[in-house]
Amino acid sequence: MSKAKHKTSPVSIPKSPTGIQGFDEITMGGLPTGRPTLVCGGAGCGKTLFGLEFLVRGATQFDEPGVFMSFEETNEELIMNVASLGFDLNDLIDNKKIALDHVHIERSEIEETGEYDLEALFIRLGYAIDSIGAKRVVLDTIESLFAGLPNQLILRAELRRLFRWLKVKGVTAIITGERGDETLTRQGLEEYVSDCVIMLDHRVTEQTSTRRLRVVKFRGSTHGTNEYPFLIDESGFSVLPVTSLGLEHIVSSERISSGIKALDEMLEGKGYYRGSTILVSGTAGIGKTSTAAHFAEAACKRGERVLYFCFEESPNQLMRNMLSIGIKLEPWVKKGLLRFQATRPTFYGLEMHLAVTHKYVNEFKPDIVILDPINTFDVADKEFEVRTLLMRIVDFLKVNQITALFTSLTSSACNTESSDVGISSLIDTWLLLRDIELNGERNRGMYVLKSRGMANSNQIREFVLTNRGVELRDVYIGASGVLTGSARIAQEAHENSEVLTRKHEIEFKKREIARKRREVEAKVATMLADFGSEEAEAVKIIADEQEMIARLEQDKKEMAKSRKAKVGDIVTNNI
Amino acid sequence: MKQTDVNTDKRAREKQQGDTHDKWVLRLYVAGQSPKALTAFANLKKICEEQLKGKYSIEVIDLLENPQKGAADQIFALPTLVRKLPVPVRKIIGDLSNTERVLIGLDLLPAD
């Protein structure tokens, strides 16, 4: 990505890419084409290898054959040395891609008898260059001449001529030189080779060694000026252009699940942002790794690639432990989606860790990187360095759109929030796991301390490890604070029983009403029955009365008949 | 050095040793007809005539014409005189103008 960027910027001088990982980025293109470059450094810092890789990569990747003129190692030694890095020099020599020439100078065999020059060296070099059409030349280490030849005046004059001659030849050359006490090289080669000077260094601080590279000077070009850590491993050199990164990375609004449903819900129900940096911090044994493992598993289920750096546990131990909470990681390892990289933090220096991280990330191309835990870097009082390291890792991952999850162990003695404050600014989503001690119990609580760009939940949830993984429970907040663990269970039981009591009461009331209804109904029935009998009585009486009336009427009529009186008169009286 | 030789006249011994070799093969590496090359050849011829008359051969190799020959004898400076025989191989660089150093280099004179 940065290569493309460099091409668009105005190119000051033509450059030849070295093919060495990261180096071309620092120098914005490589070494100056057609000019000599001085590579200096102490013993064993990788000068020869730098030169050789420059040639091998040139021959294999850029179709630029090269000549390696060695003043120290024989051709056979060189071939053997780089075979361990996977370079087959014999093959390249056979194909006329590389020519080796070993210049052996034995002081005891040589007698100086007057005027001479180093024309033979020029001729040999010229012959080697012409025989394969070389574009690149490495002279390693030309300073050996100073040990072999007593006449320094001639030698210095000839060196000056040699470097001029190389320029005229138009080859891109590397000249290596041993570092001097106060000068860049023991013999002051920098005096002659002044276009580009690269310094390699191999330092040991606190028992861990770090290789560093610095571009001391690059005439006619801008370049990174920092010291960059570099690695020499089975794939050769790799330099880390770590601090050349700006804050220009593309951001994604895609959300990815944390693997814990309840946690996703706390993060707007969607989870983390892709490409964000997540920190899970907490005290020992609180479930940081479990949270990380959940995230890893969820990612693998989505078919994403996860690179898991463990600095405390071996991968097998971690997988076994995660199995106990129902997270199966092994199938994903077998599928190649999940890769563990386990090293002790003290195994190498911080810079080396960074370099290793870069290397593996570039190799594996993961979507998610987990570092578990980061605070183990902090072995000595190197807070600043650790911070820089993390910043570099975060920047690097962000640029590559890789979601990063770090875990961090905080000491329970100090404030969990302040102890991590050094890296707080780097973190997008910070989950804090803390223990809540209450009623003689220690329980886990989780909350989202911060989450950039989302309306995260402000609640503390109880964090429970079950055999089905991590579960988050709502916690009770009462007068005495957050209730967790058995206090929460007691509270739940208490609530349950209360509900039960109410249910009972309702049942009771219902039964009461039914009973009352039955009572009333019974009463009504009796009353109806009473009424029925009364009514019958009344009807009977009425009937009797009417009969009586009728009979009286009859009697009157009969009486009147007998008295021959008018019926009307009698009726009136009767009423 | 053998202990019996220690107290004998060194120069005489050297002379005698030199005399024991009846075949001297010398190679002079040069680059073209440069002044240094010509001087070197003239000086060599003179020394050989004086010291090794009749039992030496000089082969002049022009690296401009045969550049591939430089590597075999590990030549880096010019002119270089290589004593191929008698063994061990000796290399003398320069235009051979310092006769004494040449004789020392060829083992015709003791180093001190």
Burial of B112 (0-12, 13-18, 19+ CB in 10 A): exposed
Asked if A108 has any chain B CB less than 8 Å from its own CB, the reply is: no
Give A109 to chain B, closest Cα distance, Å: 6
Between B80 and A114, where is the model more confident? Answer: B80
* Measured CA angle at A314 (ends A378, A271), to 5 deg: 75
pLDDT at B8: 46
Query: Quick check: A369 contacting B, CB < 8 Å?
Result: no
Identify which of A462, A464, A465 has the alpha carbon closest to the alpha carbon of residue A477: A462
The whole-angstrom separation of Cα A258 and Cα A271 is: 6
Which residue from A111, A116, A120 is facing B70, i.e. has the nearest CB? A120
Give a yes or no: residue A284 inside a domain: yes
A160 and A259 fall within a common domain: no
Same domain, yes or no: A299 and A231: no
Using the predicted structure, report yes or no on whether residue A556 has a pLDDT greater than 60.
yes
Partners of A112 on chain B (C-beta within 8 Å) are: 92-94, 98, 101
Q: Which residues of chain B are within 8 Å of residue A103 when distances are taken between CB atoms?
A: 74, 76
Instruction: State residue A133's pLDDT score.
Output: 92
pLDDT reading at A8 higher than 70:
no
SS3 label, residue A167 = helix
Search chain B and give the residue with CA nearest A100.
Answer: B71
Check if CATH label 3.40.309.10 holds for domain B17-105: no
Question: Are A408 and A302 part of one and the same domain?
Answer: yes
Q: Using the 8-state DSSP alphabet, how is residue A11 labeled?
A: P
Q: Taking CB atoms and an 8 Å limit, are A113 and B95 in contact across chains?
A: yes
Alpha helices of A9-65 — where are they, by DSSP H? 23-26, 47-61
How far A56 CA lies from chain B's nearest CA (Å)?
22
pLDDT for A415 equals: 52
Chain B residues within an 8 Å CB radius of A101:
71
In a domain, A93, yes or no: yes
Give residue A242's pLDDT.
54
Q: Percentage of chain A with pLDDT > 70? A: 87
Cβ–Cβ gap A111/B93 under 8 Å: yes
Q: Contacts of residue A149 in chain B, CB cutoff 8 Å?
A: 77
Mean pLDDT of A219-234: 79
**Residue A72 designated active-site:** yes
Q: Are A278 and A468 in contact (CB under 8 A)?
A: no
* Residue A381 confidence class, pLDDT cut points 50, 70, 90: low
What confidence tier does B112 reach under pLDDT thresholds 50, 70, 90?
Answer: low
pLDDT over 90 for what percent of chain A? 22
**How far A53 CA sits from the closest chain B CA (Å)?**
24
* pLDDT of res. A305: 92
Confidence of residue A481 (pLDDT cuts 50, 70, 90): low
The answer to whether residues A37 and A83 belong to one domain is: yes
CB contact under 8 Å between B105 and A118, yes or no, is no
Predicted pLDDT at A510: 94
Residue A516 has a pLDDT of: 94
Minimum-distance CB partner of A112 among B63, B78, B94: B94
Contact yes or no for A114 and B95 at CB 8 A: yes
Residues A166 and A278 in one domain: no
Residues A183 and A114 in one domain: yes
Catalytic residue among A304, A312, A313, A330: A312
Whether omega before A373 lies within 30 degrees of 0, making that bond cis, reads: yes
- Whether residue A201 contacts residue A228, with contact meaning beta carbons closer than 8 Å, is answered with no
Same domain, A277 and A228: no
CATH of the domain at A35: 3.40.50.300
CB proximity A347 to B under 8 Å: no
Verify whether residue A248 is a known catalytic residue.
Answer: no
Domain count, chain A: 2
Q: Which residues contact A570 (CB under 8 A, 6 or more apart)?
A: A556, A557, A559, A560
> pLDDT at position A411, please?
66
Its domain, for residue A83, covers 2-244
Which of A225, A244, A263 terminates a domain? The answer is: A244
3-class secondary-structure state, position A210: strand
Question: Does B70 sit within 8 Å of A114, measured CB to CB?
Answer: no
Position B4 scores a pLDDT of 45
Q: A310-339 pLDDT, tens per residue?
A: 888 888 988 898 888 888 888 999 998 999
Distance from CA of A113 to the nearest CA of B (A): 5
Taking an 8 Å Cβ-Cβ cutoff, which residues of chain B contact chain A? 29, 31, 36, 39-40, 43, 63-64, 67-68, 70-71, 74-81, 88-98, 101-102, 104-105
pLDDT at A420: 56
Q: How many CB pairs under 8 A join A and B?
A: 97
Enter the ipTM: 0.80
Q: Is residue A546 part of a domain?
A: no
**Same domain as A143, residue A90:** yes
- A418 in a domain, yes or no? yes
Which tens digit of pLDDT belongs to each residue from A501-516?
999 999 999 999 999 9
Taking only the tens place, the pLDDT of each residue in A21-45 is: 778 888 888 899 999 999 988 888 8
Ranges of H-type helices in A195-270? 261-266
Q: Which residues is A483 bridged to in the sheet?
A: A476
A154-168, A189-203, A228-242, B68-82, range with the lowest pLDDT:
A228-242
Q: Where are the domains of chain B?
A: 17-105
Q: Which of A429, A447, A478 is the last residue of a domain?
A: A478
**A237 and A316: one domain?**
no
Q: Are A66 and A136 in contact (CB under 8 A)?
A: yes
A157 and chain B in contact, CB less than 8 A: no
